[in-house]
Amino acid sequence: MPSNRTRRIRLLLSYDGTEYHGWQIQPNLPTIQGEIETALAQIEGERIQLHGSGRTDAGVHAVGQVAAFDLRNPIPAGNLRRALNRLLPRDIRVLEVTEAQTDFHPRFNAKRKTYEYRMLRAEVCPPFLRRYVHHHPYPLNEEAMIAFAPLLDGEHDFSIFAAADEKDELGHSKVRTIFSSRVYRQGSSEDDLLIYRVTGSGFLKHMVRNIVGVLLEAGKGNLTQADFLRRLDPYCQIPCGPAAPARGLFLINVEYE
Amino acid sequence: MPSNRTRRIRLLLSYDGTEYHGWQIQPNLPTIQGEIETALAQIEGERIQLHGSGRTDAGVHAVGQVAAFDLRNPIPAGNLRRALNRLLPRDIRVLEVTEAQTDFHPRFNAKRKTYEYRMLRAEVCPPFLRRYVHHHPYPLNEEAMIAFAPLLDGEHDFSIFAAADEKDELGHSKVRTIFSSRVYRQGSSEDDLLIYRVTGSGFLKHMVRNIVGVLLEAGKGNLTQADFLRRLDPYCQIPCGPAAPARGLFLINVEYE
């Protein structure tokens, strides 16, 4: 019989976002939060609310998402991980289950988050990567992208890079601190991956995909460094160009104190 | 206007077999051959028959399948590759298109084929690998598997390893030559992949998955070396144990003179 003492449990999660309408629970649509809450309800015998470190968009993947919830069931952490992985679809995996402080909050306590965006330059995209990279076999000035990316380091107003429906929201600061923003090659072959990796205090909705969209514009030769920097002026009113597709984006980790 | 001169075209193909009922065309079911023939018909303006180096089962993948067909359309090989990749679903890719001798036959001319079977020993299977490995987190005596695999090298009657519906077919030799049959670790971590790689003159239906099934039985401690060798006697009548799941199997390449 479950005791009445409530524990706060922290989850480390990995998921393939391809088949989901993002993290946040929505009626009648498959979501990451929805699948995990359904599994938790089967273990606890009643509905449990899951809190994530933040939402990921439809189609975005995670190798290190963090979430937490309160549980009365006294099941040991190791068994809970196995029980959840048995109940969850195979494209959502619980990597770790740990007992957390009762005031731990995965969103409010998060200090740094890292995202990675994967671009494949090869002429043909291997079928096994098709869900996990943005295939871009066209010419790109990678040197410009490599040079421009670090210009985002530091504290900036990222209004230009926010999602359309968030842009005009008043009272919400669009200022974020980027600790590291880099483009680099993974591997040495021409066909290998071009990676954008960014670590920051937090990210606005669509922010990483919009940054990659602007970096790709720079790579196509459509933006000078001055054009690029102008996007850090929140009053510049330049429309942000197309966001890079969700399938290339991975939430890598969330860091706490 | 298409000329009347017929060319024989050779394709190098890669596919994710997860969503397909195998290579061979079947009415009203998605198959690799069916998808490619549909794309070819759009290019040629009439139905074209595609010949593969052999059939792969439902759910089996390929990184180097070879196929060929005759075409009247004079489209250059490079353009044909692009046209096919535009028409095909993203889980089937044409890696290379080459002009072949008019008597080239991908099945009859094949000299060696290599398959790889991927087993993941980690306790949790990353979501991104779930379609491409057989997840086996339970104890295994890998040393026994590594020791037994090379016992299959050489010419043997593989009747025991044939699919049930092929076993009793008379007049079809079940003798095949295995050039190399090996189990090894990819990477150094406990969690890394355990690979079975086999190169042979040809393979019976389900043969590789049945070999892996027997190797896994050896890994579980259910078979001595003598038990294992007894399976090379076509009259031994030992039932073959469960075939390993299709998702771990990749056709790596097909070699010609």
| Complex-level ipTM | 0.90
- Hey, are the CB atoms on B130 and A15 less than 8 Å from each other? no
pTM of the model: 0.92
CATH architecture of residue range(s) B7-100: 2-Layer Sandwich (3.30)
Helix (H) or strand (E) segment spanning residue B112: strand B112-120
Catalytic residues of A: 57
> Are residues A112 and A20 in contact, defined by beta-carbon separation less than 8 angstroms?
no
Helix (H, G, I), strand (E, B) or coil at B145: helix
pLDDT, tens digit, for every residue of A219-231? 999 999 998 898 8
pLDDT, tens digit, for every residue of B155-210? 999 888 887 777 666 667 889 999 999 999 987 676 689 999 999 999 999 999 99
CA angle B130, B133, B137 (to 5 degrees): 90
pLDDT at A4: 64
pLDDT at B30: 97
Residue with token string 């070999």: B211
Q: Which residues of B touch A191 (CB under 8 A)?
A: none
Q: What share of chain A is helix, strand, coil (3-state, %, to 5)?
A: 25, 30, 45
**CA-based nearest residue to B239, from B209, B214, B208:** B214
Q: Is the pLDDT of residue B1 over 60?
A: no
**CA-based nearest residue to A254, from A47, A108, A75, A78:** A108
Position with higher pLDDT, A231 vs B7: B7
Q: Is the pLDDT of residue B153 over 50?
A: yes
> Where are the domains positioned within chain A?
7-100, 112-255
Q: Is the pLDDT of residue B138 over 50?
A: yes
Topology given in CATH for the domain delimited by A112-255? Alpha-Beta Plaits (3.30.70)
Residue A42 in tokens: 């089967």
Which residues of chain A are under the pLDDT cut of 70?
A: 1-4, 167-171, 188, 190-191
Cβ of A15 under 8 Å from any chain B Cβ?
yes
Residue A132 in tokens: 């996990």
Kindly state the average pLDDT of the residues B15-32. Answer: 96
pLDDT at B253: 98
> Are residues B224 and B230 in contact, defined by beta-carbon separation less than 8 angstroms?
no
Q: Which residues of B touch A93 (CB under 8 A)?
A: 124-127
Kindly state the average pLDDT of the residues B116-124. Answer: 95
β-bridge mates for residue B249, sequence order: B117
Mean pLDDT lowest for which of A194-203, A236-245, B76-85, B238-247?
Answer: A236-245
Q: What is the nearest CA distance from A179 to chain B, expressed in angstroms?
A: 28
**CA-based nearest residue to B65, from B106, B12, B9:** B12
Q: A 107-166 residues with CB below 8 A of B?
A: 124-128, 130, 132
List Cβ neighbours of A214 (8 Å cut-off, separation of 6 or more).
Answer: A161, A223, A228, A231, A240, A241
Counting beta carbons within 10 angstroms of the beta carbon of residue A47, is it exposed (0 to 12), middle (13 to 18) or buried (19 or more)? exposed
DSSP B127-141: GGGTTTSEE--S---
| A/B interface, count of CB pairs below 8 Å | 49
Interface mutation vs chain B, best among A20, A92, A128, A249, most B CBs within 10 Å: A128
C-alpha span between B40 and B88 (Å, rounded):
10
Helix (H, G, I), strand (E, B) or coil at B167: helix
Position with higher pLDDT, B29 vs B1: B29
DSSP B176-223: EEEEEEEEEEESSSTTSEEEEEEEES---TTHHHHHHHHHHHHHTT--
Cβ of A90 under 8 Å from any chain B Cβ?
yes
By Cβ distance, the residue of A93, A127, A130 closest to B125 is A93
Distance of CA A89 to the CA centre of its chain: 20
pLDDT at A67: 98
Q: Do domains A7-100 and A112-255 have the same CATH topology?
A: yes
> Are residues A44 and A60 in contact, defined by beta-carbon separation less than 8 angstroms?
no
